[in-house]
Amino acid sequence: MAKAWHIGVIGGSGLYEPGALEDAQEIPVASSFGEPSGPVTTGRIGSVQFSFIARHGAGHRLAPGHVNYRANIDALKRCGITDVLAISAIGSLKEEYAPGDFVVVDQLIDRTAGRERSFFGDGIVAHVPLADPVCPRLSKLAGKAADKAGAKVHQSGTYVAIEGPQFSTRAESNIYRDWGADVIGMTAMPEARLAREAELPYALVGMVTDYDCWREPDGDVDVSDIIKTMTANSKKARALLAEFAAGLPKQRKASAIDTVLDTAIITPREHWDIASRARLDAVAGRLVNLLNESKD
């Protein structure tokens, strides 16, 4: 059934500026999975509802490995979002993906470690499919928006997510190139995994800030160069959001991702304990509420 769009945006605090959102308000949102990176700023761009969360918190105070990805996704789901658009800085592993370019990521390789990767497993077990970790519909819309915003856009790319916070060694960088990865970053995983578990279609637009350390004679990645490129791209990133809002269909048609948990939860309903159901009241609220109604 068609319904209204409500886009959750995960990215840097510089993605939006005062006045960019109509009826904007900043609201703290509590999560069953701990503290989110910060409050959610919600409002409208045109006729479309948007809710933003700064992935690394105000002032970029959270390293990639310290971001509470579960709480961020859970908080956005509690705000009633229908889809997630993630925007992040990435390094390039291919000559043709140049600094300043935008990449619509379509595949992910997860090399992170020690991060909470699932909402499930403690009382309720689920195995969501992740062969195609991003939503093709949302990604296509995001790619068109980036193009209209004036960016040079690559409409596909494989992203390798590393733990960080250090950048790769040259040997690692070359291994990732041999694997067929196009770009590299530190935040797309477990973010994309968790969005899928929360039944939220997810798209990722990466902004290339540098060639990773594989490229001779450039040498090591330089944070000052990354910041310069990000600053130069910030206007296009904000324009992307405006174009994205303008390009969305009037009504959002249902996605298969909206009901992915129907065939993913393996724990029989009679074994769902109260604490697990309460913790998943947003992520799996559609099913938890159905179970509660059946017991009334």
Residue 111 has pLDDT above 60, yes or no: yes
- Mean pLDDT of the region 106-115: 97
Compare 126 and 235 and report the one with higher pLDDT: 126
Q: Name the active-site residue from 122, 212, 222, 225.
A: 212
pLDDT digits (tens, 9 = 90+) for 178-218: 999 999 999 999 999 999 999 999 999 999 999 999 987 77
In the chain, where the domains are located: 87-295
CA-derived radius of gyration, the chain: 19
Non-local (6+) Cβ contacts of 218 within 8 A are 211
Q: Which fold has domain 87-295?
A: Rossmann fold (3.40.50)
To the query of whether residue 212 is one of the catalytic residues in this protein, the response is yes
To the query of whether residue 106 is one of the catalytic residues in this protein, the response is no
Q: Name the active-site residue from 101, 210, 225, 281.
A: 210
Residue 292 has pLDDT above 60, yes or no: no
Q: What is the mean pLDDT of the chain?
A: 92
Would you place residue 1 in the very low, low, confident or very high pLDDT band (cuts 50, 70, 90)? low
Please give the single-letter amino acid code of residue 106. Answer: D
The pair of structure tokens assigned to 166 is: 């250090």
DSSP class per residue in 41-63: EEEEETTEEEEEEETTTTTT-S-
- Mean pLDDT of the region 48-74: 95
The pair of structure tokens assigned to 175 is: 């291994």
